[in-house]
Structure 1
């Protein structure tokens, strides 16, 4: 059976602009307005979900979506690095950052490894393949990237080569073990 999984990356916020690990928190005013303006552009789906972060939930709300919280769509758990900027961590722990970037099973921060993230998101994606129809979920960029890596059976290191813009739509269609991907369609207000 074929299923359509649509992942919307949440709107921007201050933590993300500052390149902080776990960029959760409220949306800034301009980003919330962009999300509200894009409310009519999201595809319809049989089911709606969201990662549990404030950023994802506020984006879903601004888009006018009634979502179910999905723990498996939580952003990447980066342990003790949570809330810090990448440049801060790299200055304090350059070897740990190099290990984290180079080894998909490394978790020097005490949180989730890249492989663990990809496995968790892959499990959620496989569960969607068992359901009929379509699902639209608001999920952080790391979750979207992990879904693409898992869905296309890419090497885990490909995660670092994927960019996911705020308020963009990534679609996976097919079934577990055979997914097609359509990347990065922007959600923008349609011209009248």
Structure 2
């Protein structure tokens, strides 16, 4: 896991910013997509890369961050992340396939195909989950069995488009819009 005290510097793909072969392969596979999405690459010690996409077209968004730490491609949406290769899919070590898996998830986020439900108890984060867009979205938000022991009192439904942020209070298993 990246050291939060370490500060990255803009990546220029030069010999004075060495990266692992894994990071170089992922960079090569993702670079065209990153350029198209105005992504910003940073180089971090000990030689891995972090890509941040924080706008989509002309609008500011909840950022999507992809990084190559520890020979994995991690996709982060602030308070949620996942790692590739995703071993629930057919196993692969091919950086191009792994990069395409990460890009597909980032594209779905940017296109608004899913939201992130972020739960809080006493203003402290206690869990996050992906919510796919469909008719039972509210029911999925109220399903807190997996974090019930933290007593979540509110949930934020976050989309890539920051203007769609929605807040709910959770009371007796019911959602109350704020």
Q: TM-score under structure 2 normalisation?
A: 0.27
- Greater strand percent: which structure? 2
Q: TM-score under structure 1 normalisation?
A: 0.26
- Greater helix percent: which structure? 1
